[in-house]
Structure 1
Amino acid sequence: MRPLDAAFCFLCFLVFSLLQSPSSAAKRSYVVYMGAHSHGIEPSTADLEKATDSHYEFLGSFLGSRETAEDSIFYSYTRHINGFAAILDEETAATIARHPKVVSVFENRGRKLHTTRSWEFLGLDRNHAVPSYSIWNKARYGEDAIIGNLDTGEIF
């Protein structure tokens, strides 16, 4: 191959590479929250399937087909909240966020756990016994207290 031909091939390759836009690099995991379900507190199997189907149909209207939506959604919230987690590009996530049926869309990011031994971490327990200086004693063992929980989704 002549040097001029090699240079031309390299230049064509370089221009072609620069014109390519990596679609997979721009996609991230998003949670689409759509408020409450229409089914009651104790949904039937049919209710749960209907909720999942509605998520596929809804996302499919943005992605062009139900099949594409099924490939994109990796979790469907069907019991207590109405929503789904899916791999989307930023533009699609922004478009979905403007839909009147959508409460919010946010990037699904991992959280770092601070501890898996909450009682010890909070100073409430030492070696499975409540020391006299424990906050448990001062708080009368939680009497008249509301306790919150942050569910990170981590399963141990």
Structure 2
Amino acid sequence: MRAPFALFALTAPLMLGLSACGDPAPTYIDQAWVRLSPNKDTPSAGYFIAHGGDSGAQLRGVLTDYALKVEMHESMSSGGMTSMKPVESVDIPAKSQVAFAPGGKHLMLWGVNDTAISRGKMQLTFLMSNGDRLLVDAVIRKADGTDSATPAPSKPGEHEGH
């Protein structure tokens, strides 16, 4: 009777220690979306939120098969003028968020593919400094804010009686 209790007494601290040691929380991306430019000759813009895991990370770039070119940019205001510059990398501190949002950091996407537009989404690959590649689907929205895959509303009287 003492042997099972002694075995439990020896292994319990080890089991408790192992259960407290989980995998570290990873860096991840969510809320990704692309606002289509109303003019196919000008770039569209991409937005998302990067969440830092237990350790800091750095976003080094973004790729996609659904656009000709993708760049990270940042908008800045100075002296009443707004300008934009390319960004090579973005630090994502541990346990914090970095928003790519209108008026700040964002993606510029040239030549968004018609297939992605009709599907209403495109896959983006986020390149991290540790070698990770995070695959994320971004919803595609028209310049007016509606989803690109949403059919156009019908005109009053159209299709009546069918």
TM-score (norm 1): 0.30
Query: Which structure carries more strand by proportion?
Result: 2
Normalized against structure 2, the TM-score is what? Answer: 0.29
Higher helix share: 1
